[in-house]
Amino acid sequence: MTAPAPHRPPEGLTHQGLVYGSDEEFLAATVPFCREGLARGEAVLAVTTGTNIGLLRRALDDVSGQVEYADAQDWYQRPGATLGAYHRWVDRRTAGGAHRRVRVIGEPVWHGRDALETAEWTRYESAVNVAFADCPAWIICPYDTRVLPPAVVADAHRTHPELATDGAAVASDHYADPADADSVWSRPLAPVGAEGEDAVLSFGADLTDVRTFVADTATALGLAPHRTPTLVFAVNEVATNAVQHGGGAGRLVLRRCGPRIVADVVSTGPSHAAWYLGYLPPDPRQPRGHGMWAVRHLCDLLEVHTDDGATTVRLHVGLD
């Protein structure tokens, strides 16, 4: 028997995973979720597959026009950019008291992802718990067992504090808090399959050489001209952090790995970076601290790990 849904506070995040294996199970959870939200005057957004959008439109019938819809293929392209898009949507809907709370159906895209992308999108799902912790949002993330690998479905139990079904909810026994000091999400960086020799540069406070090195090396490795400024900016921001918050110097490693350019910026010093660095939106009133948020938006993938007094920020940018 499913336990009753816990009380929903007027503020703060509710983040639930919805594991379903049929259209009926999907609708049994999402239709009441949408209808109740609309009845309470909450903004409702459904980001899911084209098929599920069609199912929702028909099932919601008279109130379907009050729900906003977005195709998941368009929405879930880069983890940092996706999280930023959700934040902007929440801010717009709650600005000026237009809506006190929002509800989101957010179904990530897993098809066509390689192992690294799957791992990072899984960590994105975990990062939602810290990035939206204070947002007046109720988010349900559907996982379709008919098409998803069992490992992806199993991870839904680790990335969501609760599991939703038929309008009720239970706590997930396997939830892994992203903010725990020994979080399972803070894992060592995997070796990369580089093509050719690594290009290495040590740097100090003057980052002129860093920018030139990145532009010249990435171009030689096949990075498209329109992508080069993105990588130069991103590496410069991370290197700036390394100088300011690390030991005043750093090491840059650049290489081509299949369809991506991968850059490691390594710094030493007392600073310890959380694995979700750059996922928390900075306060627009603060004069500094916006760089990693921007880097997350620009890069296809970004990994962070601190070990033995050294922090490595790994940036992935697609060749095209």
The two structure tokens encoding residue 154: 């199993």
User: What is residue 62's DSSP assignment?
Assistant: G
User: What is residue 7's DSSP assignment?
Assistant: P
* Burial bucket for residue 226 (CB in 10 Å: 0-12, 13-18, 19+): exposed
**First-last CA distance in the chain:** 50
Residue 71 CA to residue 48 CA, distance in Å, equals 6
Backbone dihedral angles phi then psi of residue 113, each to the nearest 5 degrees: -85, 140
The model's pLDDT over 125-178, given as tens digits with 9 standing for 90+, comes to 999 999 999 999 999 999 999 999 999 999 999 999 999 976 689 999 999 999
Nearest to 72 by CA among 130, 14, 147: 147
pTM for the model stands at 0.91
User: What's the residue count for the chain?
Assistant: 320
The two structure tokens encoding residue 12: 């703060």
The model's pLDDT over 98-114, given as tens digits with 9 standing for 90+, comes to 899 999 999 999 999 99
Choice among 1-5, 134-138, 141-145, 182-186 with the minimum mean pLDDT: 1-5
Nearest to 256 by CA among 216, 197, 212, 307: 197
User: What is residue 184's DSSP assignment?
Assistant: T
Nearest to 129 by CA among 21, 276, 3, 245: 276
